[in-house]
Chain A
């Protein structure tokens, strides 16, 4: 990283790209119920549920085809590119 930093000091216009680059290391894109969402920071499933305002609601979640048990929401990290299905009970015959 040392040589990278000295490169920035020599070429200031590269600084913005470096900040963006650092930020982009954290930003993740997740596909939730078929729609893409980006998150500034990686998060776990419990945090996702909170962010989606679904805390306390009865939901079931699948991550990349695997069920995430409710008891493990806080332990399950979400990674870039994950496909999440988040379902609820609705009326049906």
Chain B
């Protein structure tokens, strides 16, 4: 599959599974799960330093260094375009000018559904400032196209609500999005188990981003491995070109002649 790499903003990635780094028990588990997933692109959050806490405490980037992974700073917890833009400016400074980012602007804390109006405003500012924006959004195909037109390098529609594990609620909207945008479409949010990831890839999505599905599994490292396989399987199935679905027209796979007679 060496020629089937995921291309985002001109850079090539072998893994179509992107994973988050939150909600793990500890750094050991985080590292083991990321390793098992085979992910090359991993999201991180930007937060205030715990001043006064143990100064010898390792930082996330000590175990997941920028030299080994493509870090994708997010704007989790931002409810306005201004906050998201500020956060990503800080992230870019933190990561020595690295400009590939994940933009998410949320609408309310109960659903964590994206506020697409603020998302569009933030995307405009960020693209103008030279960021390469991978944008988390709803599965609205019109908004997706607008975000692409603004200059986002990837569209990341939700499968279902963040952390819900409900899987893909509207595969038809994902199809509408893929029919309309040229940049990679990466399903982000709501994946719950391996089949959800496989379905996303079978639909023709270019990748899947998940966090809770792995971190909240009973055995995160095993689930990470399952997800790696699911994304690969779904992608292969997509490239293989599935058989058509037919409601009627049952057609047996075995010959219909030469059946043995009645005893």
Contacts and interface: CB of A to CB of B under 8 A. Distances in A.
Interface of A: 32-35, 52-54, 57-62, 65, 67, 69-70, 85-93
A84 B94 CA distance: 15
Nearest to B163: A93
Contact of B61 (A69, A85, A89, A92): A89
A58 B46 contact: no
A53 B52 CA distance: 8
A89 B51 contact: no
Interface in B40-59: 43-49, 51-52, 55, 59
A89 B73 contact: yes
A89 B24 CA distance: 15
Given A53-B55, A67-B90, A70-B93, A87 B49 contact: yes
Nearest to A51: B51
B74 A85 contact: no
Given A33-B48, A52-B51, A86-B51, A91 B73 contact: no
A87 B48 contact: yes
A93 B46 contact: no
Given A57-B59, A91-B60, A86 B94 contact: no
Contacts of A57: 49, 55, 59
Given A88-B59, A89-B71, A69 B49 contact: no
Given A32-B51, A87-B47, A93-B76, A60 B21 contact: no
A65 B73 CA distance: 19
B211 interface: yes
A87 B94 contact: yes
